[in-house]
Structure 1
Amino acid sequence: MTDDVLFETRGRLGLITLNRPKALNALNRAMCNAIYTQLGEWADDDGVNVVAITGSGEKAFCAGGDVVGLYNGRGDGSSDWEDFFGDEYRMNHRIGTFEKPYVAIIDGITMGGGVGLSIHAPYRIATERTLFAMPETGIGLIPDVGGTHALSHMPGEIGTYLGLTGARLKAEDCLYAGIATHYTQSGNVEGLITALASDVDSVTDVMVQFERPPGQPPALKTHRESIDRHFAKTSVEEIMASLSMGDDWAEAQRDLLMRMSPTSMKITLRALREGADDDLAGCLKREYRLVGNIKAGHDFYEGIRAQLIDKDRKPRWNPSNLRDVTADMVDSYFAVPPHGDLRL
């Protein structure tokens, strides 16, 4: 086990606390393995009726995985890359198939790996501090951790929009998109945890007790017609062309997409379209192929350099234009990577 994630039982509740507040509770491999193991033990423990997960500190639930560590380990010949993603995805699958109620309290920044810890849960509680995003196309990656399953099953083309643009959502938009199932104030979180620890018959009844309406209307609803129209196209090029003929909001989304990795956008769109007809396990296996082949590419390392290392925010993608990302290149990312397929 690791001090980066804490486990305790309170009454009938198994509580997981992500414990890296200075790192915005970013996930590392040890945390993934610890959560996977503990969930297995609680699944067999008749004294635990419900599991909840929360983050320490006041800023983040979980801001993602340790991508800087993967960047620093490039070219060392180790299996750290595939080991990390394999262990993370097995944890995601265990969360998504956990047979007891699992409550994710996304009180703060929830991105990347934090989405994988929460979005597959049956109960997802947002607060006024929630900030959700899947910003992977901006670092040369894809919306993984089962993101291609969750996003592709959202209403209309909301998931395509979020997966390609990395748009950031507050709680009211998370509710509208189905990312969150309930909303409460952050000041109610401790009371909610205490209530879950009591001998309650229904987690839903506890949610009703603490649920409050968000203070703002969802911005997504305002742009829903545009999202569904522009992002329903069959290629990224068609999406860009459609946005170029739209209103000011649409043109702003086009300009945003122009900053993303062309390769990441193309493989993301295909993965989302295929994910719409697949279950979580199938999507995770496909994502494992994609990230495995991204390891041997250029854009991930360049994206991390530009966004998190040098922080010049000027990634030099290769290829730099959508037209140069050929169908054969996209196909190659969906092939079995050198280290094989994911074993769940």
Structure 2
Amino acid sequence: MSITFKKELDDLVLQLLKNLMEYELDPNVNLVMIKANGKAFSAGGDLLSILGLITAGHWSLTAKYYYKWLTLLHLNITYKKPLVNIVNGFAIGGGATMSTFATFRIVTENTIFSLPEIAIGLIPNVGAGYILSRLPGYFGEFLGLTGARIDGADMIACGLATHFVPSKDLALLESELEEITGSSNTLNNSKVNETINKYALTPSLKQDSPLKK
């Protein structure tokens, strides 16, 4: 069960690596956008798969999987072209970390972010230590030790996301990004940021926000 699921995860990571490396070198590609094909950017299925591998004693498979994940994250954070992540739903586990490794990290009122590894005896990994250690105060430790869920407003306030765009405006934003991508051979981060800011809002933290507490 776990090994089969692990192969599916491997295939996903390898496909992302392959595509991103090809797009980075392709002169016809000016911008890369990563988003979910559904309600969840990441549903956290990798956590249970990894736990199953570890329990079964497949340490080498686990180590190789993490190596690929870290390679993917390194590529994301050093990407030479504008990279846009859109998280309009759940971002849990390894994919949650990946959602924060991009030049532009867009969230909405539907975004739910969580690193719940602690609940099954693991710890946040594949880059989580990097992002959590850079959050204000002890908020990173809090998220890592509790697996608490935070929303898009929290992510903006603590720096995990760069822009908050209402979900109803995402289609318009994507359309405009595609338009400026096709009209420029030298698209830069400044132009992308300017375009996203047309649709971005400054959200208010909820009264029960973990960050406010």
Give the TM-score taking structure 2 as reference length: 0.84
- Tell me the alpha carbon deviations over residues 54-92 of structure 1, each in whole angstroms, 9 at most, x when there is no partner: 0012x3111224233334444365732222212112111
Structure 1 residue 217: deviation in Å?
4.2
Whether the 8 Å contact between 2:41 and 2:87 is mirrored in structure 1 is yes
The 1-side partners of 2:113 and 2:80 are apart by 26
CA RMSD in angstroms comes to 2.1
Q: 1:152 to 1:78 in 2, by over 3 A?
A: closer
How big is the shift at 1:221?
A: 4.8
Does residue 214 in structure 1 map to residue 203 in structure 2?
yes
Q: Any idea what the Cα deviations from partners look like across 1:27-53, whole Å, max 9, x if unmatched?
A: 711100110111111111111111111
Counterpart selection for 1:205 from 191, 194, 197: 194
* Structure 2 Cα separation of the partners of residues 35 and 29 of structure 1: 10
How far apart, in 1, do the equivalents of 2:28 and 2:122 lie? 40
Match of 2:151 among 170, 175, 182: 170
CA distance in 1, matches of 2:100, 2:164: 14
Measure the CA separation in 2 of the matches of 1:101 and 1:136. 30
2:86 matched to 1:96? no
Distance 1:169-1:78 versus aligned 2 partners, 3 A rule: closer
Which of 86, 99, 111 pairs up with 2:67? 86
The separation in 2 between residues aligned to 1:117 and 1:188, in whole angstroms, is 23
For residues 112-133 of structure 1, what are the alpha-carbon distances to aligned partners after superposition, in whole Å with 9 as ceiling and x for unaligned? 1112321121211111110011
Deviation at 1:215, TM superposition (A): 5.5
**Equivalent residues, number:** 197
Aligned letter for 2:49? G
Paired residue for 2:43?
63
Distance apart, 1:214 and its partner CA? 2.6
Greater C-alpha radius of gyration: 1
Aligned-pair identity in percent equals 33
* Partner residue, 1:116: 97
**Are residues 220 and 83 of structure 1, via their aligned partners in 2, closer, same or farther at CA, if it must alter by over 3 Å?**
same
Deviation string, structure 1 residues 134-193 (Cα, Å, up to 9, x no partner): 111111111112110111011121111111111110111111111111111112222222
TM-score by length of 1: 0.53
Aligned to 1:193: 174
- CA separation in 1, counterparts of 2:96 and 2:42? 8
> 1:222 is paired with a residue of what secondary structure?
coil
Q: Is the 8 A contact 1:63 1:113 kept in 2?
A: no
Secondary structure of the 1:66 match is helix
AA in 2 matched with 1:66: D
Query: Which deviations, in whole Å up to 9, do the C-alpha atoms of 1:245-269 show, x marking residues without a partner?
Result: xxxxxxxxxxxxxxxxxxxxxxxxx
Q: Distance in 2 between matches of 1:159 and 1:76?
A: 30
CA gap 1:164/1:70 in 2 versus in 1, 3 angstroms: closer
Partner of 2:86: 105
Do the aligned residues in 1 keep the contact of 2:154 with 2:205 (CA within 8 Å)? Answer: no
The letter of the residue matching 2:43 is A
Q: Which residue is equivalent to 1:184? A: 165
Query: Which ranges of structure 2 fall in alignment gaps of 5 or more residues?
Result: 182-186
Q: Which runs of 5+ in 1 are unaligned?
A: 1-22, 224-344
1:147 aligns with 2:128: yes
Q: Is the 8 A contact 1:107 1:129 kept in 2?
A: yes
1:131 aligns with 2:112: yes
Cα distance change on mapping 1:157 and 1:72 into 2, 3 Å: closer
Higher relative contact order (Cα pairs below 8 Å, separated by 6+ residues): 2
